Chain A
Amino acid sequence: MKQKILLLFFIIPFAVAAQYDLSGFIQDTNGYVVLGTQIKLSGGSLSRTKTVNGSGKYEFKDLPSGTFNLEITSGDYIEFDQVVITDVDVRHDIQLKNHKDYELEEVALRGESAKSKMEKKGFALNVIKTDEAAQRNIQTNELLNTSVGVKIRQNGGLGSNVEYSLNGLSGSAVRIFIDGIPISTFGSSYNLNSIPPSMIERIEVYKGVVPGYLSDDALGGAINIVLNQATNTNFNASVSYGSFNTLQASVNGLYRFDGSGFTVKASGFHNYSDNDYKVSGRSVVITGLGGVQTPITARRFNDAYRSTGGLVQVGFTDVKWADQFFVGFNGSEDYNEVQHGAFMTTRPYKGRFYESDASLANLIYQKEDLFIKGFDVNVNGYYGKRNRQLSDTVAQAYSWNGEPAVDFRGNEYEYTWGSQQEGGPTLAKIERNVTSVRTGLAYAFNKNHKVLANHVFSSIDRQDSDALRSVLENTFVGTRDLRKNIFALTYEFSAFDNRLQASLFGKYYQQKTINVDPKIETDAAGNNQLVDEVISSNKTYNGYGFALSYAVLPNITLLASAEKAVRLPNETEIFGNDGDNVVANYSINPEQSKNYNLGFRLGTFNLNKNQFGVSANLFTRNIKDRIGLPIETSLNVDEELIVYVNQGSGNSKGFDAQFNYSYDNNFGVNFNISKFDLKIENRGVEIDVPNTPFLTMNGNLRYSFKDLIQEKSRLNLFYTLYYTGEFSYLVPQGSNTVGDDFFKVPEQLAQDIGVSYAFPGNNFVMSFDVKNIFDKPVYDNLSVQKPGRAFYLKLNYSINKF
């Protein structure tokens, strides 16, 4: 990480009140445009951000006279600049300096990138920048997986089901947001599988302790996808094509009418993959006469994925009454074939698929210093519908070679259950009306004290139906509605020249779940009537926490954070589930966890052209009232007596560590490691949680050449390594048992290489990536093989002047 500091004074000796423009070019010492550079202008009540693209020019229009600070950031680099505007348009060119040129100044003044600033607030936080990934053939999930303490477990290729784990906690313990809105609002067509990195400004990963503004019942942490925030005119488009017929395209554009501030913003994506990668293993067989099995290497044949979506917003940016005001529409759809169930078995599926779509209206309002200085407001709301349809109506059995399977007599056959997955043919459809509104108010009393109030409301009304079932049956299917209100109050303060930063927060959770079950009732006249039996459950809970950081020395920071976090019981846990013979438990309590993080950040240290930094975090998560199902006994095996209960405790303990090194801007190394122990306790017996990858490491190398092929071009070489330690699907066994191998997910080491080439002028960037170069079998889950070696080529085009 580098911090570049520069202080310049431009004094232009005129003084008449009017509106002026500020513009100029930003280049590095060699005269190159630095792609993705952001410039933030602030002063008085103004705060605007522009991204510099292509030509290297930036422009701020309609500024009053005054003194303005400029913060220029590019990746991890930062420079500060100051401009005084008096009476005339100002042209101010900025030449970024090479690191060695300003070592002396650095002593006098330090600045930090937004990433570094956020990461030093005290939370156990990763901020993942997307600039580089956006130009390469890297999916958002892959990017997230290389971040320290984060483990992604995916059941196949692009589009397949993903589970996120933060420091050992996973599933519903991890909440995911897009711009602070819970991802359940958007559905599976608009998620981390479909949104490309180029639409994303950054990803924030809060481990264990989640700040007030992201409030949800996140027991183990939260992942927040922050979509592009820049408000200057720009356009970029990219298309990537590669193995398994994988096509990924994205377009992002913004046009701002500088006079009025009227802004049109649009982005879109399209992803497609056949995911027909090769698999083999103990269940990949074809079956002949008598059921005799022959192992084969097969290509997956029912695993295609397609997603398309976009966002259009119109409104005003950087005007007096709003920093951002947009109304917009967000539409997306996807199609996702399912090759097999949770495991790869001898029975691959054909013709089972999901289709989802979402149509949401959107409103954004953001203003800093509204009415009075220091008072900030932001509102972000979505309202709309989302639907999901599952289709599984093919009864014909298929074999791993993609052909109809034959039974023991040699004849093609159909499954007894009439569908691919056991359970019978289905066209199950879930329609949901969704609303989610996030509101934040902040008031800074002065530089050192700030109070923030946040509220998130989310509501999901759900209706289930199945076209294969009779109207009668569909009529009596119950509906489950969910309303959540979460309030958070945060107090932030800093002291000792910002060396101490602290944030204290309290959260109030309120969740109402409503179960509507249609019933027949006989009225007084003896007529049968359809009535809705409505049962609702209202639960409220509190949580609180803090984050604290203290800079012992400017490049030695200690961080500590803690939270009493909760996860509210979901509708199945409260109301039960007819299909699984689980009945309601209205008195169930939320899962609770006391989460602690203690860490440090060292760096960045500079030694000649060498720069390095180290950070580490120790954590514990102490869960109680875990929700689960009790064991099946002779008392409940026939009668429907099973209820979800709070049945034990658990804890996860471990550490994360990260190391960065770079040399002269050309060479960079990142390495991180994460290790934890996860145990649960039920009825006094403690066990190590099985099926959990507890040791992960990631490393990457980058080397840049300038002017290698053409003048003013840049060539980057990349290497990435992913390591996951061996783990078992079963709980740990005795010292001398045999047969354990059957349940083991072996140690894995996958390596990717890539090259990207930025043509002179920086409008075009071409990238080529090879994933899993040694074609190793890779598994996130027992025996579910992920893609082998794959090649992808990507073209990016960007301009910021039309």
Chain B
Amino acid sequence: MKRIFLNWKAFTLITLTAGLFTACDTDDAVKEIENGTDSRWITVAAARMGENPGDGNGGTLIYSVSAEDAKDPSISIEPFDNGFIVPSNRTARLQSSQDGNTIFNISYAGDTGGNYTKYTVNGGQNFAQTGSAVSIEPYVGSAPRWIKLFDGDQTGAAVYVSTENEISDNDTPDDATDDFYLRTEAKMGIVTLDLENSLIKEFQEHSISLSDELESQGYYIGRIDMPTLNAAGDKLYIGARLSKVDPTTGERDRNAEMLESRSIVLDYPSLLNPTVIISEVGTGNTNGYRSINAFEYNGSVYQANQSDPQGSHILKIGADNKYDDSYVFNLDDALGIEGAYILAWRPAANGKAVVAYRHDGSAEGVAGAQGFFALVDLNAKTAQKINDIPYDPDFYLFQYQGFVVDGNDIYVTQAPVGENGNIYVVDTETGEVTKGAELVNVEGSHFIGVF
């Protein structure tokens, strides 16, 4: 009898204690929301493991804290346990408003692929969906390559390219031996989306050609992404990747030589008159991956390139809407490394940027090459690895998407796959790095940035 009584006491104690903890949690949440009014929200994005460690296919979770909390290393953030799961079958490509109060998402793949939704950030896991539903799937497919333009959070743009080989049958439709390859037609579609009113703004389709010489060799634009608005607001630049077919067989040529970096330039907002501009500086692709790859700064647009045999460059497109080949900024040279590859980057208004990269010397971790952050100066064309952030072989940045720019400060997330990490705040002016809130991870998973 006594024993039962003791157990009962223990039970009561535990219940009361648990109740107190629960009450504390609630207070914290209230405090956070109050804090949100005088500083911006920092929304942490985390990608849960699907089938393979680091694949990020098990759901994209977001969780918001105040900037003060984000900077506080005594705070722990657990998006995997407490977050909001963004409705996207595969890793969502998120965007946020410049003030951090709104999160924009276009669902990637699955039954709602192409659906645009936006959420008001209310702190914690509380994201209130606002606006009506609209889908860009009819224009650019269910796995859209979209990005928010820097026009005061008004517009999103998404692109699509479809290709078809053009073959001449030499007027002998039944005889294959005298057929020859002409070119590959690359047809692009571009749609702009009114982010405020959830409406489609404009859509255009164009055939994109290269020079006759390149086309006869089998080159064509096989992938496009990352539309960026110029400073004048009258042109869009779209990153591109060249592919090549073997003209003798019409099959994909896997050993094609990398050509000069290119971008497509279009009139904005009409989305008409496409032309292709060519860099004499960089070689390789300009279409990025999941994170914005080109930014306007001081009247020009700075664009990273990838898969450059000389290592990634940051290229400059001048106010004349052409590559400025007098601007040469090579990350290999600036960092003194080989095979630099810019995975994601973001400049602050002072022309200094944080770059996420890997290079030939990166360790091979559980989910691919180890990633690093560097602080670069677009004006001085210098770069320095940020050594105050810890690096682990399992820390990878290929899927990295989000940087928050708050004045001269840039927020990033750091956590190796499956291990806890932190938010870090880089003062781009001084180079000082502040360790912020702890990021609590789960097995096989990683963080893809802050918004």
Contact = CB atoms under 8 A, between A and B. Distances in A.
A473 B167 contact: yes
A567 to B, nearest CB: 18
Contacts of A730: 48, 58-59, 85
Contacts of B54: 631
Contacts of A418: 162
A587 interface: no
Interface string A726-752: 000111011111111011000000000
Interface string A706-733: 0000000000000000000000011101
A635 B339 CA distance: 11
A734 B78 contact: yes
A343 B398 contact: no
B71 to A, nearest CB: 24
Contact of B254 (A347, A423, A640): A640
B279 interface: no
A293 B443 CA distance: 39
Contacts of A735: 81
B134 A472 contact: no
Nearest to A640: B254
B135 A737 contact: no
B393 interface: no
Given A734-B82, A737-B84, A578 B137 contact: no
B80 A734 contact: yes
Given A743-B85, A782-B111, A470 B199 contact: no
B132 A347 contact: no
Chain A at the B interface: SS class: loop
A102 to B, nearest CB: 58
Given A343-B111, A637-B289, A738-B84, A405 B138 contact: yes
A346 B167 contact: no
Contact of B368 (A417, A635, A731): A635
B358 interface: yes
Interface range on chain B (Cβ under 8 Å from partner): 35 or more
Interface residues of A, number: 74
B135 A287 contact: yes
Interface in A673-695: 680, 682-685, 687, 690
Contacts of B252: 578, 640
Interface stretch (B171-179, B267-275, B295-303, B383-391): B171-179
Interface string B50-63: 11111100110100
A44 interface: no
A682 B53 contact: yes
A290 B139 CA distance: 12
B431 interface: no
Contact of B444 (A473, A685, A729): A685
Interface in A396-425: 397, 405, 407-408, 413, 415-418, 422-424
A475 interface: yes
Contact of B167 (A472, A530, A783, A784): A472
A291 B135 contact: yes
A737 B83 contact: yes
B162 A417 contact: yes
Interface in A620-647: 628, 630-635, 637-640, 647
B173 A471 contact: yes
A778 to B, nearest CB: 16
B250 interface: yes
Given A417-B162, A734-B80, A472 B250 contact: yes
Given A422-B142, A634-B369, A733 B51 contact: no
B366 interface: yes
Interface string B158-173: 0010101101010001
A393 interface: no
A742 B162 contact: no
Contacts of B307: 638
B52 A347 contact: no
A473 B251 CA distance: 7
B138 A293 contact: no
A23 interface: no
Contacts of A637: 289, 398
Contact of B142 (A345, A632, A639): A345
A690 B59 CA distance: 11
B112 A476 contact: no
19 contacts: A407-B139, A413-B138, A416-B139, A471-B175, A473-B165, A475-B176, A476-B250, A518-B249, A628-B51, A632-B55, A634-B306, A635-B369, A682-B52, A687-B49, A687-B58, A729-B89, A734-B80, A738-B83, A742-B87
Given A471-B174, A683-B53, 20 more contacts: A291-B198, A416-B187, A424-B162, A470-B179, A471-B167, A471-B169, A472-B181, A472-B250, A476-B249, A518-B249, A520-B248, A528-B248, A631-B52, A634-B341, A640-B254, A682-B52, A683-B444, A685-B49, A687-B51, A737-B82
Interface of B: 48-55, 58-59, 61, 78, 80-87, 89, 110-115, 125, 132-142, 160, 162, 164-165, 167, 169, 173-177, 179-181, 187-189, 194, 197-201, 203, 205, 241, 248-252, 254, 285, 289, 306-307, 341, 343, 358, 366-369, 396, 398, 418, 442-444
